[in-house]
Structure 1
């Protein structure tokens, strides 16, 4: 995957290193050239000095051909702007923004931008959102220990029962959108093609949920 990371502080540089070592093509943008020292001498990606929401900088980073973008500057406002530009103007498929203000984070989630607050931040978590995100987190509970995720039923799950996608205390299907109706399922409810599922899951069980759904890699949400 081709991924842009805006912000090369401790977290941004750590994410860049982790994704680069996983074989992804990484471009890091920061307005301070000295920040690139955090990447270390073994970093194989590209670095661009500039403001992350500047059009010329984003085009130089080839945002029009980018699979994912992470906005991790020290400013909530800048991260929100960068994420919205990437999502709405350049239609980048996977976008995540770090926002310290949880209220702002919830607003941007409703607008389709994945967010990480200071309490749920983690390099692995960000990498999972950018690279393995068929599950769309629509709400985080408490400090991020559990999430409500939304996903269209995989074709292989059609005809199976809700009970087949339940792990007591960890994974529960709480609602199903079917056509123009929303139903609250029982354990015996049968999934149908094109069902949209809302699943409450503990964050630590996300890999298990993906395996149960037949999604690749069993990686986190």
Structure 2
């Protein structure tokens, strides 16, 4: 998969190295040549020395064919502008941005852009969001201890019940949207193909949720 990382600070460089080790096609954009030193000599991705606010940086990074973009500079305003452009102008499938000021999180949320703040958790979270195709963490609560995940029910899960996704105290199904109508489901509510559920999941239980989904045939 092809990912673009805007900003090569601690979070950006750590994310780039992590994704590159998984053999993804990585492009890192930063205005400072010295920032690329954080990637190390063995980094095989593409480097674009350019200001993220320069519209040419989008062209140089190959955004038209990107599977995902992470805007993780040290400036919230830059991150939101770049993330919004990636989402609305270039239709990048997955866009995530770093936020330093929690007041910006609500703005990102309204734009449909996922956010992270903590560096160590952020690298893990962004990597998961960009590379996992069926379960998307769309919002973090607190410092990321609890995430709100969006999951579209595939055909193989049709007929299963909401309770099959629940682990008391760790994973809770908050809502179910079917044919444009959203409701709060009961544990016995049957799932249908195309349903969209929003799930509250503790940080340490994300992998457990994924394993549970795979176990019952959901990807």
- TM-score using structure 1 length: 0.90
Structure 1 distance, partners of 2:182, 2:33, is 51
Distance in 1 (alpha carbons) for counterparts of 2:40 and 2:6: 17
More moved, 95-104 vs 111-120: 111-120
> What pairs up with 1:1-221 in 2 under 5 angstroms?
1-118=1-118, 121-214=121-214
C-alpha change, 1:139 and 1:68, in structure 2 (3 Å) is: closer
Cα distance change of structure 1 residues 139 and 8 upon mapping to structure 2, 3 Å threshold: closer
After superposition, the C-alpha distances for 1:24-78 in whole angstroms (9 at most, x for unaligned) are: 1111111111111111111111111111132212101111111111111111111
Distance in structure 1 (CA, Å) of the matches to 2:96 and 2:73: 12
Aligned CA distance change for structure 1 residues 180 and 13 (closer, same or farther; 3 Å): closer
The CA deviation at 1:137 is 3.1
- The 1:133–1:76 alpha-carbon spacing in structure 2 relative to 1, beyond 3 Å, is farther
Report the aligned-residue RMSD.
1.9
Q: How far apart are 1:193 and its partner, in Å? A: 2.1
**TM-aligned CA deviation for residue 148 of structure 1:** 2.0
Aligned residues: 216
Uncovered stretches (5+) of structure 1, i.e. residues with no partner? none
**Larger deviation, residues 35-44 vs 180-189:** 180-189
